[in-house]
Amino acid sequence: MIAFLKQNSFRLLIAAPCVGFGIGILVLFIARNTQPTVQGSPWKTFLNIGSDGESVLQKAIRAGVGIYALPKEEVVYFMANTDEEGNRLEAGHRYRISGNAPFTRIWSITLYDDDHRLSANPLERYHINGSMMNTEQGQPYSFIISSKEENDYWLPAPEKGNIVLCYRIYLPPASTFPIQASQLPRIQKL
Protein backbone atom coordinates (compact mmCIF):
# COMPACT_ATOMS: atom_id res chain seq x y z
CA MET A 1 0.00 0.00 0.00
CA ILE A 2 2.71 2.44 1.08
CA ALA A 3 4.79 1.41 -1.93
CA PHE A 4 1.80 2.02 -4.24
CA LEU A 5 1.23 5.44 -2.72
CA LYS A 6 4.89 6.31 -3.09
CA GLN A 7 4.91 5.22 -6.75
CA ASN A 8 1.78 7.27 -7.50
CA SER A 9 2.49 10.18 -5.20
CA PHE A 10 2.42 12.77 -7.99
CA ARG A 11 -1.06 11.64 -9.09
CA LEU A 12 -2.08 11.65 -5.45
CA LEU A 13 -0.94 15.26 -5.20
CA ILE A 14 -3.29 16.17 -8.03
CA ALA A 15 -6.19 14.06 -6.71
CA ALA A 16 -5.95 15.14 -3.05
CA PRO A 17 -7.80 18.49 -3.37
CA CYS A 18 -10.60 16.79 -5.31
CA VAL A 19 -10.90 14.06 -2.68
CA GLY A 20 -10.89 16.70 0.09
CA PHE A 21 -13.61 18.66 -1.69
CA GLY A 22 -15.67 15.50 -2.19
CA ILE A 23 -15.36 14.52 1.47
CA GLY A 24 -16.36 18.07 2.48
CA ILE A 25 -19.53 17.94 0.38
CA LEU A 26 -20.35 14.45 1.68
CA VAL A 27 -19.93 15.53 5.31
CA LEU A 28 -22.20 18.56 4.73
CA PHE A 29 -24.81 16.37 3.05
CA ILE A 30 -24.84 13.85 5.91
CA ALA A 31 -24.64 16.50 8.63
CA ARG A 32 -27.73 18.32 7.30
CA ASN A 33 -29.90 15.73 9.02
CA THR A 34 -27.88 15.32 12.18
CA GLN A 35 -28.70 18.46 14.13
CA PRO A 36 -28.47 17.96 17.90
CA THR A 37 -31.71 16.66 19.39
CA VAL A 38 -33.09 17.81 22.74
CA GLN A 39 -32.83 14.61 24.75
CA GLY A 40 -36.17 12.89 25.31
CA SER A 41 -37.93 14.82 22.54
CA PRO A 42 -38.14 14.75 18.73
CA TRP A 43 -37.04 18.40 18.51
CA LYS A 44 -33.68 19.31 16.98
CA THR A 45 -32.00 22.67 17.45
CA PHE A 46 -28.88 24.77 17.01
CA LEU A 47 -28.49 26.71 20.24
CA ASN A 48 -25.21 28.45 19.47
CA ILE A 49 -26.29 30.36 16.36
CA GLY A 50 -24.12 33.43 15.95
CA SER A 51 -22.07 32.67 19.07
CA ASP A 52 -18.28 32.50 19.19
CA GLY A 53 -18.53 28.80 19.93
CA GLU A 54 -20.01 27.98 16.54
CA SER A 55 -17.53 25.96 14.45
CA VAL A 56 -16.87 26.39 10.72
CA LEU A 57 -18.71 23.12 10.06
CA GLN A 58 -21.73 24.20 12.17
CA LYS A 59 -21.88 27.51 10.31
CA ALA A 60 -21.74 25.71 6.97
CA ILE A 61 -24.52 23.32 7.99
CA ARG A 62 -26.64 26.23 9.21
CA ALA A 63 -26.17 28.06 5.92
CA GLY A 64 -27.72 25.00 4.27
CA VAL A 65 -30.60 24.32 6.64
CA GLY A 66 -31.35 27.66 8.30
CA ILE A 67 -29.78 30.56 6.47
CA TYR A 68 -30.38 34.06 7.86
CA ALA A 69 -31.30 32.68 11.29
CA LEU A 70 -31.37 35.10 14.21
CA PRO A 71 -29.21 34.59 17.32
CA LYS A 72 -30.73 32.71 20.25
CA GLU A 73 -31.29 35.92 22.24
CA GLU A 74 -33.92 36.79 19.63
CA VAL A 75 -35.36 33.43 18.61
CA VAL A 76 -34.79 29.81 19.52
CA TYR A 77 -35.64 27.43 16.68
CA PHE A 78 -36.61 23.79 17.02
CA MET A 79 -37.31 21.46 14.10
CA ALA A 80 -39.07 18.08 14.23
CA ASN A 81 -39.59 15.61 11.43
CA THR A 82 -40.65 12.69 13.65
CA ASP A 83 -43.31 12.15 16.30
CA GLU A 84 -42.40 11.29 19.88
CA GLU A 85 -42.25 7.59 18.95
CA GLY A 86 -39.54 8.37 16.42
CA ASN A 87 -41.73 7.77 13.35
CA ARG A 88 -41.49 10.15 10.39
CA LEU A 89 -44.23 12.82 10.35
CA GLU A 90 -46.48 12.02 7.40
CA ALA A 91 -49.20 14.21 5.92
CA GLY A 92 -51.73 11.38 5.77
CA HIS A 93 -51.84 10.97 9.57
CA ARG A 94 -53.39 13.06 12.34
CA TYR A 95 -51.22 14.40 15.14
CA ARG A 96 -51.96 16.12 18.42
CA ILE A 97 -49.51 18.86 19.38
CA SER A 98 -49.69 19.81 23.04
CA GLY A 99 -47.65 21.52 25.70
CA ASN A 100 -47.46 24.50 28.01
CA ALA A 101 -47.08 27.95 26.46
CA PRO A 102 -43.52 29.22 26.96
CA PHE A 103 -42.79 32.14 29.27
CA THR A 104 -42.64 34.66 26.47
CA ARG A 105 -45.34 36.62 24.71
CA ILE A 106 -44.50 35.33 21.26
CA TRP A 107 -44.17 31.76 20.04
CA SER A 108 -45.38 29.76 17.06
CA ILE A 109 -45.43 26.31 15.49
CA THR A 110 -45.25 26.26 11.69
CA LEU A 111 -45.87 23.36 9.34
CA TYR A 112 -43.62 22.87 6.30
CA ASP A 113 -43.48 20.22 3.62
CA ASP A 114 -40.41 18.06 3.09
CA ASP A 115 -38.75 20.82 1.03
CA HIS A 116 -39.22 23.26 3.92
CA ARG A 117 -41.92 25.18 2.02
CA LEU A 118 -45.17 26.27 3.61
CA SER A 119 -48.04 23.99 2.78
CA ALA A 120 -50.57 25.81 0.57
CA ASN A 121 -54.12 25.61 1.95
CA PRO A 122 -57.37 27.53 1.31
CA LEU A 123 -57.59 28.65 4.96
CA GLU A 124 -54.21 30.37 4.55
CA ARG A 125 -53.28 28.96 7.92
CA TYR A 126 -49.61 28.04 8.02
CA HIS A 127 -48.87 28.15 11.72
CA ILE A 128 -50.39 28.23 15.19
CA ASN A 129 -49.14 30.96 17.52
CA GLY A 130 -49.72 32.11 21.06
CA SER A 131 -52.35 34.71 20.18
CA MET A 132 -54.32 32.21 18.05
CA MET A 133 -54.41 29.76 20.96
CA ASN A 134 -55.23 32.59 23.38
CA THR A 135 -53.19 30.85 26.04
CA GLU A 136 -51.51 32.53 28.99
CA GLN A 137 -47.80 31.96 29.59
CA GLY A 138 -47.21 28.58 31.21
CA GLN A 139 -50.78 27.41 30.52
CA PRO A 140 -51.55 24.26 28.50
CA TYR A 141 -52.53 24.32 24.84
CA SER A 142 -53.36 21.66 22.28
CA PHE A 143 -54.19 21.47 18.59
CA ILE A 144 -54.50 18.93 15.79
CA ILE A 145 -52.53 18.58 12.57
CA SER A 146 -54.64 17.00 9.86
CA SER A 147 -55.24 17.15 6.13
CA LYS A 148 -59.02 17.11 6.80
CA GLU A 149 -61.06 19.72 8.64
CA GLU A 150 -61.25 19.24 12.42
CA ASN A 151 -63.63 20.61 15.05
CA ASP A 152 -60.79 21.40 17.44
CA TYR A 153 -58.04 24.00 16.81
CA TRP A 154 -56.24 22.58 13.82
CA LEU A 155 -53.40 23.20 11.41
CA PRO A 156 -53.95 22.03 7.81
CA ALA A 157 -51.43 19.53 6.42
CA PRO A 158 -50.99 18.60 2.76
CA GLU A 159 -52.69 15.44 1.43
CA LYS A 160 -49.47 13.47 1.07
CA GLY A 161 -45.73 13.57 1.66
CA ASN A 162 -43.67 14.12 4.76
CA ILE A 163 -44.04 17.16 6.97
CA VAL A 164 -41.68 19.12 9.19
CA LEU A 165 -42.61 21.28 12.19
CA CYS A 166 -40.74 24.36 13.35
CA TYR A 167 -41.30 25.63 16.89
CA ARG A 168 -40.06 29.19 17.49
CA ILE A 169 -39.75 30.94 20.84
CA TYR A 170 -39.18 34.68 20.37
CA LEU A 171 -37.26 36.80 22.88
CA PRO A 172 -36.78 33.81 25.18
CA PRO A 173 -36.21 34.74 28.84
CA ALA A 174 -33.01 33.49 30.49
CA SER A 175 -35.08 30.87 32.32
CA THR A 176 -35.65 29.14 28.96
CA PHE A 177 -32.09 27.79 29.09
CA PRO A 178 -30.93 25.08 29.36
CA ILE A 179 -33.66 23.68 27.14
CA GLN A 180 -35.32 20.54 28.47
CA ALA A 181 -37.72 18.17 26.75
CA SER A 182 -40.52 19.09 29.18
CA GLN A 183 -40.53 22.66 27.78
CA LEU A 184 -41.16 21.45 24.23
CA PRO A 185 -44.48 20.46 22.64
CA ARG A 186 -45.43 16.80 22.50
CA ILE A 187 -46.12 15.33 19.06
CA GLN A 188 -48.52 12.40 19.38
CA LYS A 189 -49.83 10.40 16.46
CA LEU A 190 -53.59 9.87 16.80
* Angle 50-176-180 from CA coordinates, rounded to 5°: 100
Q: Which residues pair with 95 in a beta bridge?
A: 145, 189
Q: Which of 30, 32, 88, 131 binds other proteins (CB under 8 A)?
A: 131
What is the rounded distance in angstroms from the CA atom of residue 46 to the CA atom of residue 44? 7
- In the complex, the smallest distance separating the C-beta of residue 50 from other proteins, rounded to whole angstroms, is 5
CA distances 123 to 111, 126, 135, Å, are: 14, 9, 22
Under the binding rule (CB under 8 A), the answer on residue 52 touching other proteins is no
**Site map 55..94 versus other proteins, x via CB under 8 A:** -xx-xx--xx--xxxxx--x--------------------
Q: Which is nearer to other proteins, 19 or 190 (CB)?
A: 19
**Do residues 127 and 165 lie in contact, with contact meaning Cβ atoms separated by under 8 Å?**
no
Q: What is the identity of the amino acid at 92?
A: G
Contacting other proteins (CB under 8 A), which of 44, 72, 96, 168? Answer: 168
Indicate whether 47 belongs to the interface with other proteins (CB under 8 A).
no
d(CA 58, CA 49): 9
- Is residue 129 close enough to count as binding other proteins by CB under 8 A? yes
User: Interface with other proteins includes 18 (CB under 8 A)?
Assistant: yes
Q: Contact 144/96 with Cβ under 8 angstroms?
A: yes
Return residues touching other proteins (CB under 8 A): 5-6, 9-10, 12-13, 15-21, 23-25, 27-28, 49-50, 56-57, 59-60, 63-64, 67-71, 74, 105-106, 108, 110, 117-122, 124, 126-127, 129, 131, 166, 168, 170-171
